[in-house]
C-alpha cells in the first residue's frame, strides 16, 4: 500500500463546482432529456422517467424556480398540455455540471 502525505493530496475542486440542483438523478435526467429535445410535455417526461405526478411535478418546479426551465401551457384536442424547455441558464449549468463530473470521474485510478 502506497502511503501519501496529506500535504501532497490535491483538492477536489470539482466537488465544489457541481450544481447541487442537478445532484438528484431525476432533475439531472430531466435536464439531459430536454437538452436533446426542443421541449417535452409533462406526460412524456412522466412516461420516460417512470415517475409519479407528484414526484415529477416537485422536481420540475425546483428546476423552473431556479431558472433552468421555461414552461408553456397549451391545449391539444381540448386537453391542457404543459410543455417544458431547457433555458440557456439550464443548458449552461448542465454543461458545467457534466464537465465537472467528467473531471471528477477521470481522477478515479
| pLDDT for the residue numbered 21 | 87
CA angle 7, 107, 91 (to 5 degrees): 120
Distance CA 54, CA 58 (A): 6
Its pTM stands at 0.83
C-alpha cell at 6: 496529506
54 CB-side CA count, 13 A: 0
- As beta bridge partners, residue 86 has 69
Q: How does pLDDT run along the chain (109 residues), one tens digit per residue? A: 666 555 544 566 766 667 788 889 999 999 999 999 999 999 999 999 999 999 999 999 999 999 999 999 999 999 999 999 999 999 999 999 999 889 888 878 6
C-alpha cell at 31: 435536464
| pLDDT for the residue numbered 109 | 66
| pLDDT for the residue numbered 72 | 97
Amino acid at each position: 500500500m502506497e502511503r501519501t502525505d496529506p500535504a501532497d493530496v490535491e483538492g477536489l475542486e470539482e466537488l465544489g463546482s457541481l450544481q447541487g440542483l442537478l445532484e438528484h438523478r431525476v432533475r439531472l435526467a430531466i435536464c439531459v432529456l430536454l437538452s436533446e429535445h426542443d421541449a417535452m410535455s409533462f406526460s412524456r417526461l412522466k412516461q420516460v422517467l417512470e415517475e409519479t405526478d407528484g414526484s415529477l411535478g416537485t422536481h420540475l418546479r425546483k428546476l423552473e424556480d431556479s431558472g433552468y426551465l421555461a414552461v408553456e401551457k397549451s391545449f391539444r384536442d381540448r386537453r391542457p398540455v404543459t410543455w417544458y424547455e431547457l433555458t440557456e441558464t439550464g443548458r449552461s449549468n448542465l454543461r458545467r455540471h457534466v464537465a465537472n463530473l467528467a473531471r471528477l470521474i477521470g481522477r478515479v485510478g
